[in-house]
Structure 1
Amino acid sequence: MKQARARLTHTVILDAAGEVFAAHGFAATNLQWVAARTGLTKGALYGHFPSKAALAAAVIESFEASWREMTADARHSARPALQTLTWLALELTRRMAEDIRFMAGLRLTMEAARAACTEVPHLAELHGLMTSLVLLSQKQGDIPVGHRPELLGRLLTALVLGTHESGLGIGRDDAAGALRSMWDTVLPALQRIPD
């Protein structure tokens, strides 16, 4: 019973931390805000996580597990490549909208990479995965070979991340629907042979 309660408290803390890190980033996050969202004292919070860095690391660990699952599903999908590409874009948008730890972990890893003046590894991986799916879609005849896979991979990555980051006047709940509408507009253009 005590272990179950501790696991539940751990989950509540990670979700609250996800909300605060997603909204404010690492540097601006105050652990008192996390404690207030959980109903714990700051001292009790430190009983679970000894520092803000340890709490951020746990949020990132949760994000990493979800990221690996999503990208592995895309890499090993039995669907045609164009369907997998669409699934990946929509799934990433869904996770950013619905999974606060995913969103917070992505923000924290992006902040860390930018602070170190290095490429964001997850964005590079996403671009590479989308590019390979475009290339495979071309081999399967769903996207004309006249399109440059690298450029389309970059465009589609920007479309997914830009939809979320810009908001474009939509709420988090509407992000997947907005991306779906934009995706349905872009796909027919991809399937035509460029001039």
Structure 2
Amino acid sequence: MARQLRAEQTRTTIITAAADLFDRHGYESTSLSDIVEHAQVTKGALYFHFAAKEDLARAVMELQARASRQVAQEVESRGCSSLEFLIRLTFGIARLAVEDPIPRAGLRLATADVAVRPPMKHPFSELLELSTRKLIGAVRESDLHPDIDVDAAAHSLVYFFVGTRIAGRSLDPDGRLPRRVAEMWHLMIRGLVPVPRRARYLTLTTQLERETRTG
């Protein structure tokens, strides 16, 4: 049992070190030797758990996806409206990205040359499917204009949100991400939500930005 625990701890150390380097330097610019040095493990220990750098990248992406699903489940348990769900979800993922190198790296790796193989889903596809379902629900709940193009709105939301992280990684410090997500939602709410419903969601966005920055 002690040997198994040590092996799991070593695996976690390697994944965390790899995520930190992938996030700071990118997948292509990070070598297995870099990861071995950063994790302070032997090459044998690394190869015991991971046959190739791509396997490590997929492990990081899977952990990021798992963390995002956990956020989605927690928000779903609130029983909130479909639009509130999406707003809370994006801020929840933003909080993960601010606090933890693994979610940060997972988002960056999703744009790198890393093959995603079943049963794992590409994280952006998963977010797009969820966004589409929730936006359809928001139309039914009268929180979006009834003639909205849901497919276009879902793609715009995902691309906009991902861009706040990917482009922002080079332009802003990590702590700026909640502000960028709030700016995104202020623009989208004004474009998608009928005037009588806007105040509620604009207020929610401001509240969540404040909580994410200070949490």
**TM-score in terms of structure 2 length:** 0.72
* Post-superposition CA distance 1:153-189 (Å, at most 9, x none): 1221122111111118321121022212331343133
Residues 70, 146 of structure 1: alpha-carbon distance in 2 compared, 3 angstrom cutoff:
same
Deviates more, 1:123-132 or 1:158-167: 123-132
Aligned equivalents of 2:106 and 2:180: distance in 1? 23
Residues 81, 4 of structure 1: alpha-carbon distance in 2 compared, 3 angstrom cutoff:
same
Aligned equivalents of 2:179 and 2:110: distance in 1? 26
Aligned equivalents of 2:41 and 2:158: distance in 1? 39
1:41 matched residue in structure 2: 42
Q: Does 1:181 align with 2:183?
A: yes
Identical amino acids, percent of aligned pairs: 27
Amino acid at match of 1:192: P
Q: Is the partner of 1:78 in helix, strand or coil? A: coil
1:163 matched residue in structure 2: 164
Q: Name stretches of at least 5 consecutive residues in structure 2 with no aligned partner.
A: 196-215
Q: CA deviation at 1:133?
A: 1.5
Residues 61, 164 of structure 1: alpha-carbon distance in 2 compared, 3 angstrom cutoff:
closer
Residues 103, 41 of structure 1: alpha-carbon distance in 2 compared, 3 angstrom cutoff:
same
Amino acid at match of 2:186: D
Q: Is the partner of 2:185 in helix, strand or coil? A: helix
1:153 matched residue in structure 2: 154
Aligned equivalents of 1:103 and 1:122: distance in 2? 13
2:70 matched residue in structure 1: 69
Amino acid at match of 1:58: A
Q: Does 1:84 align with 2:54?
A: no
Deviates more, 1:138-147 or 1:16-25: 16-25
Residues 157, 53 of structure 1: alpha-carbon distance in 2 compared, 3 angstrom cutoff:
closer
Q: Is the partner of 2:171 in helix, strand or coil? A: coil
Amino acid at match of 1:143: L
Deviates more, 1:64-73 or 1:82-91: 64-73
Aligned equivalents of 1:188 and 1:4: distance in 2? 51
Is contact 2:54-2:114 (8 Å) kept?
Answer: no
Q: Does 1:144 align with 2:145?
A: yes
Residues 17, 173 of structure 1: alpha-carbon distance in 2 compared, 3 angstrom cutoff:
same
2:203 matched residue in structure 1: none
**TM-score in terms of structure 1 length:** 0.78
Q: Name stretches of at least 5 consecutive residues in structure 1 with no aligned partner.
A: none
* Post-superposition CA distance 1:23-47 (Å, at most 9, x none): 4444432111112212223344334
